[in-house]
Amino acid sequence: MYAVATIGRVESPLFDLDAAPRQGDEGAPDAWLVFEPTVRDGLSGLRPGAAIVVLTWLDRARRDILRVHPRGDTSRPEEGVFTTRSPHRPNPIGLHRVTVLAVDDLRVQVSGLEAINGTPIVDIKPVLGEVDER
């Protein structure tokens, strides 16, 4: 076991998990990432236009589920959670590929983020073209 620290929170007009679009398809709203002052130095150099991966902790997910119906469709057979992007999994870490729209000190606006308001942020990383496209 390791302790994951919340380094910020999502500010979003999305308040309902079920209303949240799946997998960032068209429709996910722009949102703000609001970071803790303690990690300010880590944001140095972050600029609008940057393609980043936001890692969140999906704190409303269930961690005791290992099989789910694909896309919640109960007419389809259950699959192992590791073959799905279900939020329900032993470590409910969300991956969100977004583009930085604006940076205002500890507040970073991003495009199309599929995460509800208040979701804890645990990391952000740059997308490295060749690597992530492999």
Quote the CA–CA distance of 47 and 101 in Å, as a whole number: 8
Q: Identify residues 111-130 at the interface with a copy of itself (CB under 8 A).
A: 120, 122-126, 128
Residue 6 beta carbon to a copy of itself: minimum distance, rounded to whole angstroms: 7
Q: Is 105 in the site for a copy of itself (CB under 8 A)?
A: no
Total residues binding a copy of itself (CB under 8 A): 51
Q: Does 109 bind a copy of itself (CB under 8 A)?
A: no
Q: Taking CB under 8 A as the criterion, which residues in 29-48 touch a copy of itself? A: 39-46
Residue 87 carries which DSSP code?
Answer: S
d(CA 48, CA 59) in angstroms, rounded, equals 28
Residues 83-102, buried b or exposed e (16+ Cβ, 10 A)?
A: ebebbbbeebebebbbebbe
Residues in the chain: 134
Contact 63, 91 (CB under 8 A): yes
d(CA 123, CA 106) in angstroms, rounded, equals 14
Is 100 in contact with 110 (CB distance < 8 Å)?
A: yes
Structure tokens at 75: 């007419």
In the complex, the smallest distance separating the C-beta of residue 101 from a copy of itself, rounded to whole angstroms, is 14
Give the per-residue contact string, 52-91, with a copy of itself (x = CB under 8 A; - = no): xx-x-x-x------xx----------xxxxxxxx---xxx
**Is 103 a residue that touches a copy of itself (CB under 8 A)?**
no
Kindly list the residues in this chain that would bind a copy of itself in the complex (CB under 8 A). Answer: 1-7, 23-25, 39-46, 50, 52-53, 55, 57, 59, 66-67, 78-85, 89-91, 93, 95, 97, 120, 122-126, 128, 131-134
